[in-house]
Structure 1
Amino acid sequence: MATPRLLLLRHPSTLLAVYLSAACALQLNASAVGLVRWSDYSVLAPLIAAALLPIRHTLIVGACTLATSVAIYGFTIRGVSEGGRTVVVTAALLSVVVSLFICRVRIRHQARCAFAAPPPGGEEKDRIAPAPRQDSGNLCASLLAGGPPTGHLPQLAAVELAYDRADDGSPQAHWLDAIPLPGARVALVAGSVTEHGEPAPALVPELRAAVRTLADIDMQPDETLTHLQDVLHRLRPDEAGHDVTASCLYAVYDPITADCTFASAGHPAPVVISSEGSPIAVDLPSGTPLGRARTHVATAEIRLGKGSVLLLHTHSAKPTGSGSRTDGSTVPGRRIEPQSSLAATCHTALQALVAEGGPRQLRVLAARTRTLDTTTVATWDLTADPTAVSAARKHVTAQLTDWGLDDATPTTVLIVSELVTNAIRHAQPPLHLRLIRCDTRLTCEVADGSTTTPHLRRARTLDEGGRGLFIVAQLTCRWGTRHHPEGKTIWAEHTPQHEA
């Protein structure tokens, strides 16, 4: 079919003239021997054109067929009755209409197939969206790495985000990220990677994905960076440790306690600005970059007020011997004054970095902190005895009624009962229950003083226990455990039915 279509597209005028001449000759010859009623089979020509040609060419063939039928049966052939003439002309007209409909349906089907089928080499993204390519990765990460409009930043309960950048066109060997964590918390990440002293953009997607995977495990920030060191070594197992290095800053902000924990491996500390506009000192040494034989991860923790702004930045290192500064000095806090919006503050920080003579390829992420109050969070202390389960049910039922979430009460009460029962049986005091309402989800948290991690298992028919976490897993969107110096917290998230 490709050859006829190619001929029709390359020589339309010639083939159209041949078609009209043949149609006229055949119809006139047929009429001369009395076969007038068989000559209206020429109406098939527009239908054939609809299967091979674009809609414009199909329209031309149909119009010519209609004109030919009117000319021959209306003026040339005299022996045709009025009824026969009407039938032939009507058939030609209908064939034009049907051919246009067929052509349109065919073109739409081809367009859908072209959109759905991946092009050769797997470059589906570039074929579907021929916009300038950005770093690969998930939506949030790729946007932050490639420079998003502010409207594309993720909407989080813990912080408000803004982003700005300055580019010199060189490959991007750095990234910024904002990762939602359980309990309405958020992880803010800034990192860059070099190989043999040169920017290594090829490693950025892998390290970014590794950080997001480690964030799901919900470890302490310094533990996260320690495991990232192992990931970096596995990415380049044949290389000497000092040839591939990465600097990374990992910060976790909790909007309930307003605490922010930082961990740094070779990355400068962020600038923190209070809601009044004054800089807040963060005693966080940069530490040793990941990839060194003895990586030192520096940590710090501060308490932030509502409306404080964290400014994280990153840059791609300049090639060795370029003569440009590559230390990536921190944003000068004294130059950052209160602005009308967070985006304006972010832009001011970027301009301050550029004015300091730092690298020309810069990224700045600004995060304004929020806090959650008693309208979205409820906390109770529990005793380590079986009566605490009944008390927990009553607390949760009353709280959900206050929040107007009565439909969520049965499921939430069952989840809390299982978590509290497990804590009483297998953990140790103190016990704390917390209920968090964030966006469209409810999070149930039970904290205890034990460091033992629970494991999901399937109980056998005659087993008396082992079904608690299985029930929780079936009722929730996700659940997990996070450890802290005082013990651990088991959390579970679910979506109330009337909000699903």
Structure 2
Amino acid sequence: MDEEESLVTIGGNGWGEAFLRAVFTQPQVGLHVLDRDLRVIKVNKVAAGLRGNPAERVVGRPAAEAYALYGIAYDETVLRDVLATGRSATDFLVTGRPTGDAHRRSVFSVSVHRLDDADGHALGLVVTSTDVTDRERARARLGLLHDAHERIGTGLDVERTARELVQVTLPGFADSVVVALTDAVLRGEDPALESADTAPLLRCAAAGRTEAGPPVPDVGPVLLPGIFGDTLPEAATLLPAEAADGRRPQAVLVAPLKAHGQVLGAVAFHRADTAEPYGPDDVVLADAIAARTATCLENALRFTREHVVMYALQGWPLRQHEATQRAVDVAQRHRPGGTGAGSWYDVIPLPGARVALVAGQVENPGLSAVATMSRLRTAVHSLSTLDLDPHELLARLHTTTRRLSGEQGDAPGADEPTASCTIAVYDPAVGRLDVARAGTSLFAVVRPDGSVDDRPVEDGPLLGAEGPPFACATHELPEGSTLCLASAPPPGDEGARPDGIMAALSRPDRDPEAMADDVERLLAPDRVLLLARTRRLSPDELAEWDIPFDFEAVGTARNLVEDRVAVWDLPLDPFAVTLVASELVTNAIRYGEAPITLRLLRDGAGVICEVSDAGQAAPHLRHAKAVDEGGRGLLICASIADDWGVRYIDDRKTVWAEIGTKGPARS
């Protein structure tokens, strides 16, 4: 027996009427039967749009006209297609507003099937509808929450995050949205500094509305007390709205933006008077969206604070010391990009009118890189006082970097710091350049004829990494040569094309500032650039004599120094200068080896006295007894001079003393 025969049998036994009665009286699925002209000929009480209304209001009307009375739009094309083809249309959604509840929007899942007679001719249609409003609302809430996770917090800026919250929730969740943040958050400060006993000062950071939405304030005004209530609620809350014109406006849904107990701001959602009011599920959703936004705001605030710290650490004011102008003319460039690249440069004056040029960069950008950069920069300044050769200074800086790596290695997720660094020491007295390099940062020498040497020193291992000794080289430069130092490109940036940089450097007829402008345009932000045009000391600034290896030559040296001080007409006590020179020469003859060279350098209103010999023994101060006949030479020099020291170059040492270079001459 087939299905059709079964139905006939059931009908013959009285089951047919019972079956139809049960179908039309069940309370879950709405039924309406249409004839071939798509007129309603029978409905049950739960049919879409009726909800307790008399069936006479729709029976006999065309389907589209009947249900338009209840805000439900049927697609007549779908109905006619099912009638013509016999192919059912199932589970398509229609929306409407039930009678007596103009604010509530209902969603129905509708299916349409054709009714045929025994010969297979179409009699009409049967339309079933099921209320799926709760299901679709839950799906919409999940979709909105997903959008919030995807679209809020795409940037590390608090105001941008506030605008994204408005864009995500408008118009699907609200007709007007106002996001306010505390003054501390807008200034990039830690909200924990705000007193917990006082209501936070909230300012409008973003707002938006639909055409039907209530008005919203402009960005900037103070909003508390105001639309968020007299005090900010602890969780998402519905606040009753008041209207003076007798209307019944919608309640405002207010949610605080809090992270780890600290108030970052608040958001207010408002729907138009004709929209469906907020319910408990909407309050839960608002809480979840606010929590997501607060997390993004906290991340943005942390980035802002780190950005401020990094900018402050990297944006140090670098002044060109007058002492460096005697050796080089310097042009410096640094365009901070806020990535925490850890780049730095320095121009450090050294004894003997020399100058050290430094450019470096810590790998793995971030706040820790900037902090490491500051510590390495301090170490370079400290080590430079030892008058070490550049490659020896890098070796000690390498040890410092490894020590920092050991300190940070215990921290979870900490990267072991490594750094690139180039150190060049230039002596204007002889035009000598000593350079050493760790890593692959840019270093080039431009000679006065326009030729460019882009590899005056080989690449070396990074500071803090394993590798061979650091590469070093020595050059003798003609006056007017230009040194170019720049930090390495940041990760992911291959850097400017070398031929472009070389072309920008190959015109030495320009001053260093103009050359720096051309090169800077080729470099990425956060890279530092240092250009130095070399000078040579003139005969009016430098005097040098070879001194015989004989104590009788001490008097001759004294006379040479006295005459030169007189020629230079310096406001110094000649006796003090000659005494220092004679003691240094005596010390070299007594403890050093031939040959001996005496050099006098003019330094503004003072002089620098240098005595070089081939001995390697380091001089040191002695505290002679009252009955001792000697041992007071360096003590006398240290008492008279502003500063003194010793340095080693190749197979020679030089003992130097500065007199009158840091203030008025001593009498």
Instruction: Calculate the TM-score normalised by the size of structure 1.
Output: 0.65
Q: Distance in 2 between matches of 1:174 and 1:301?
A: 25
1:234 is displaced (CA, Å) by 2.1
Report Cα offsets for 1:151-183 as digits up to 9, x if no partner: x43332111111123332212401000000000
The 8 Å contact of residues 173 and 315 in structure 1, kept in 2 or not, is answered as no
Identify which range, 172-181 or 187-196, moves more after superposition: 187-196
Q: Please tell me whether residue 260 in structure 1 is matched to residue 425 in structure 2.
A: no
Identify which range, 339-348 or 451-460, moves more after superposition: 339-348
Q: Please tell me whether residue 460 in structure 1 is matched to residue 625 in structure 2.
A: yes
- Please name the residue that 1:143 is paired with: 317
The 8 Å contact of residues 173 and 192 in structure 1, kept in 2 or not, is answered as yes
- Please name the residue that 1:308 is paired with: 481
More strand by share: 2
Among 192, 206, 215, the residue aligned to 2:375: 206
Q: Report how many residues are paired.
A: 351
Q: Distance in 2 between matches of 1:345 and 1:217?
A: 33
Q: Distance in 2 between matches of 1:198 and 1:295?
A: 29
**Within-5 A mapping of 1:72-83:** none
- Please name the residue that 1:388 is paired with: 553
- Please name the residue that 2:596 is paired with: 431
- Please name the residue that 2:162 is paired with: none
The 8 Å contact of residues 271 and 330 in structure 1, kept in 2 or not, is answered as no
Report SS of the residue matched to 1:236. helix
Q: Please tell me whether residue 449 in structure 1 is matched to residue 614 in structure 2.
A: yes
1:463 is displaced (CA, Å) by 2.3
Q: Please tell me whether residue 344 in structure 1 is matched to residue 518 in structure 2.
A: no
1:199 is displaced (CA, Å) by 6.9
Q: Distance in 2 between matches of 1:439 and 1:328?
A: 43
Q: Distance in 1 between matches of 2:356 and 2:578?
A: 29
Classify 1:476/1:396 alpha carbon distance in 2 versus 1 (closer, same or farther; 3 Å).
same
- Please name the residue that 2:406 is paired with: 237
Among 293, 318, 321, the residue aligned to 1:154: 321
The 8 Å contact of residues 320 and 347 in structure 2, kept in 1 or not, is answered as no
- Please name the residue that 2:359 is paired with: 190
Classify 1:486/1:452 alpha carbon distance in 2 versus 1 (closer, same or farther; 3 Å).
same
1:341 is displaced (CA, Å) by 2.8
1:239 is displaced (CA, Å) by 5.5
Q: Distance in 1 between matches of 2:312 and 2:498?
A: 26
1:478 is displaced (CA, Å) by 0.6
Report SS of the residue matched to 1:419. helix
The 8 Å contact of residues 172 and 316 in structure 1, kept in 2 or not, is answered as no
- Please name the residue that 2:312 is paired with: 134
Amino acid at match of 1:143: P
Q: Distance in 2 between matches of 1:361 and 1:166?
A: 6
- Please name the residue that 2:80 is paired with: none
Highest CA radius of gyration, 1 or 2?
2
Classify 1:244/1:278 alpha carbon distance in 2 versus 1 (closer, same or farther; 3 Å).
same
Report SS of the residue matched to 1:200. helix
- Please name the residue that 1:475 is paired with: 640
Q: Distance in 2 between matches of 1:220 and 1:192?
A: 20
Report Cα offsets for 1:215-270 as digits up to 9, x if no partner: 11001111110111111122232456993211110000010101111100113351
Gaps of 5+ in 2: 1-307
Amino acid at match of 1:142: W
Among 428, 437, 457, the residue aligned to 1:284: 457
Q: Please tell me whether residue 367 in structure 1 is matched to residue 532 in structure 2.
A: yes
1:293 is displaced (CA, Å) by 2.9
Greater relative contact order: 1 or 2 (C-alpha under 8 angstroms, separation 6 or more)? 1
Classify 1:338/1:329 alpha carbon distance in 2 versus 1 (closer, same or farther; 3 Å).
closer
Q: Distance in 2 between matches of 1:475 and 1:203?
A: 39
Amino acid at match of 1:135: L
Amino acid at match of 1:244: P
**Within-5 A mapping of 1:38-187:** 134-135=312-313, 142-144=316-318, 152-155=319-322, 156=324, 157-187=326-356
Q: Distance in 1 between matches of 2:502 and 2:310?
A: 34
Report Cα offsets for 1:378-437 as digits up to 9, x if no partner: 000011111111110011011111111374311100001111111111111110000000
Q: Distance in 1 between matches of 2:310 and 2:493?
A: 27
Report Cα offsets for 1:126-167 as digits up to 9, x if no partner: xxxx9996327xxxx9324xxxxxxx4333211111112333
Report SS of the residue matched to 1:253. strand
Percent pairwise identity: 35
The 8 Å contact of residues 199 and 317 in structure 1, kept in 2 or not, is answered as no
1:194 is displaced (CA, Å) by 2.5
Classify 1:307/1:326 alpha carbon distance in 2 versus 1 (closer, same or farther; 3 Å).
closer
Classify 1:339/1:425 alpha carbon distance in 2 versus 1 (closer, same or farther; 3 Å).
closer
Q: Please tell me whether residue 271 in structure 1 is matched to residue 444 in structure 2.
A: yes
Classify 1:453/1:499 alpha carbon distance in 2 versus 1 (closer, same or farther; 3 Å).
closer
Amino acid at match of 1:397: E
1:327 is displaced (CA, Å) by 10
Among 384, 396, 413, the residue aligned to 1:215: 384
1:209 is displaced (CA, Å) by 0.8
Q: Distance in 1 between matches of 2:415 and 2:494?
A: 20
Report SS of the residue matched to 1:397. helix
1:294 is displaced (CA, Å) by 3.2
Identify which range, 456-465 or 255-264, moves more after superposition: 456-465
Report SS of the residue matched to 1:183. coil
More helix by share: 1
The 8 Å contact of residues 270 and 310 in structure 1, kept in 2 or not, is answered as yes
1:458 is displaced (CA, Å) by 1.4
Q: Distance in 2 between matches of 1:409 and 1:205?
A: 43
Report SS of the residue matched to 1:143. coil
Gaps of 5+ in 1: 1-129, 145-151
Classify 1:258/1:285 alpha carbon distance in 2 versus 1 (closer, same or farther; 3 Å).
same
- Please name the residue that 2:494 is paired with: 325
The 8 Å contact of residues 268 and 328 in structure 1, kept in 2 or not, is answered as no
The 8 Å contact of residues 339 and 365 in structure 2, kept in 1 or not, is answered as no
Instruction: Calculate the TM-score normalised by the size of structure 2.
Output: 0.49
The 8 Å contact of residues 265 and 295 in structure 1, kept in 2 or not, is answered as no
Q: Distance in 2 between matches of 1:235 and 1:305?
A: 40
Report SS of the residue matched to 2:520. helix
Q: Distance in 2 between matches of 1:242 and 1:291?
A: 12
Q: Distance in 1 between matches of 2:660 and 2:422?
A: 32
Identify which range, 259-268 or 281-290, moves more after superposition: 281-290
